[in-house]
Structure 1
């Protein structure tokens, strides 16, 4: 089994290990027997924009899971220069350094985003749908994908995985849409909805990390031709529906306050999960309705534990 072999052989570097996905992925991989090194600006263990720090961190690792990024579309719009420097150029630098490793040339799994598809003409979106991002965040991720796939020609084993609206943790940014809905509903506060009919494919973080661990297994077994693949349940939920679910599960008196949508946001996205199931044996186990209920319960528990 991969987990048994990796206990002795595999050290994996996770950039951005303290983010939403990283903090759930690291313990899962450690339970499977991998040795995991963290690299995150949040705790001072590493800054992906610093090549010398990357070189040191990449020495001797068997694989890299690249999560570190300016992780939100709105942040990219507020500081496009930093977004491009971090998500595009620093990712390219990481791939170059990995490719130059002499003793061990690690595989590299780069995590991209459904934002690369932009406003797709047809739903559900296939993994092979041409990329056409509408914001700087999506363009930076598209650039990273392109470079990652090009480095295969130089012997670097890479995989591109596109994540879609990952949620499911009370430690997530409080103004991210589902945590904001659930937290506010628990507190009987109003829920602001920027575009009530906007449609998304929400993916619970526990499903996301299971999918990533299956990609790691493929890379550990030297699979070298994985195509770009998205991880998502394939279930569309509007922001209005998500807000209503949060209020219902919280038994809340919150009101929904509608606001105009932002001009840099994709308004409709549902993905086809078939490729992930066929290539990885993965499918989402938690529906958006189940996930929102779990997140509401988590915020309720958190609120109960706060001292009076």
Structure 2
């Protein structure tokens, strides 16, 4: 099978490309870092059987700072992908986010919870979901705080905490009671592969989020990183006003639909990531 991947050089995209190729698929990548732009031209994907559409302005804070760019990429780019897919009869798997649920009334959150976006990024993802659902072969996967690569965006919370601790610096906790569901990159990619297989067989799955079902506060996360690295110190910072402050997903739909469950817990994932950073810098591994 020939699979297009937009955002193919990002955290999830680069790991997915490797996994798809290992699974025997031909992959066509499209990413700003390699000269592709979903806002302009997606015809490089025209001969694919389906597209995993990951490309996006992917940070809540970036979308707040530049909503025009976020809308152009996340909605305009998705419009282009959907137009190509409709013309060619392709399937599309759209990468959405836990942000679409807004501030949930109760935890854990199921996929049929109301969509109540609180920020620009979330609104672009809700609109992207709408565009993809209008396709005959369009499906949605929602991610929650995926982590696990040393070259991830340095301002994401886990990379920021790990880098700060390893440098002997300060882990700034912007809302110590804020609570999220952190998913190891390889687990997320396994879920995507399971969805790709079903879509290639002609199925159109219901929206599914890939979550652990375990919530972790930012303070607990910071304390774990400090304990594992035996370095760094923790300080409180002002909570951001445009972010959702808590999310813990219900993993039961992914389990029943895909036979998928997260396999790597947060403690093990942090240890792997910290070890990778130390290997990269030549520091002690334990």
Normalization by structure 2: what TM-score? 0.97
Residues 255-301 of structure 1, C-alpha deviations (whole Å, 9 max, x = no match): 11111111101001000000000000100001112111211111121
Residues 175-198 of structure 1, C-alpha deviations (whole Å, 9 max, x = no match): 111011111111211111111110
Cα offset, 1:162, TM superposition: 0.2
Residue 261 of structure 2 corresponds to residue 245 of structure 1: no
Task: Give the aligned partner of residue 179 of structure 1.
Answer: 159
Residue 51 of structure 2 corresponds to residue 59 of structure 1: no
Task: Give the aligned partner of residue 172 of structure 2.
Answer: 192
RMSD: 1.2
Task: Give the aligned partner of residue 220 of structure 1.
Answer: 200
Q: 1:298 aligns with which of 276, 282, 286?
A: 276
Residue 69 of structure 2 corresponds to residue 91 of structure 1: no
For structure 2, list consecutive stretches of 5 or more residues without a partner in the other structure.
Answer: none
2: CA distance, partners of 1:195 / 1:71: 21
Task: Give the aligned partner of residue 143 of structure 1.
Answer: 127
2: CA distance, partners of 1:240 / 1:302: 27
1: CA distance, partners of 2:5 / 2:68: 24
CA contact (8 A) 1:193 1:259 kept: yes
Partner-residue secondary structure (3-state), 1:263: coil
Partner-residue secondary structure (3-state), 1:257: strand
CA contact (8 A) 1:58 1:98 kept: no
Cα offset, 1:58, TM superposition: 2.5
After TM superposition, list the pairs within 5 Å mapping 1:102-117 onto structure 2.
105-117=89-101
1: CA distance, partners of 2:166 / 2:188: 25
CA contact (8 A) 1:170 1:298 kept: yes
For structure 1, list consecutive stretches of 5 or more residues without a partner in the other structure.
Answer: 1-9
CA contact (8 A) 2:46 2:84 kept: no
2: CA distance, partners of 1:246 / 1:231: 23
Count of residues in Structure 1 that have an aligned counterpart in Structure 2: 284
Partner-residue secondary structure (3-state), 1:159: strand
2: CA distance, partners of 1:35 / 1:72: 29
1: CA distance, partners of 2:215 / 2:195: 24
Cα offset, 1:150, TM superposition: 1.6
Residue 1 of structure 2 corresponds to residue 17 of structure 1: no
CA contact (8 A) 1:113 1:138 kept: yes
1: CA distance, partners of 2:81 / 2:277: 37
CA contact (8 A) 1:12 1:61 kept: yes
Task: Give the aligned partner of residue 5 of structure 1.
Answer: none
Task: Give the aligned partner of residue 27 of structure 2.
Answer: 36
Cα offset, 1:199, TM superposition: 0.1
Partner-residue secondary structure (3-state), 2:139: strand
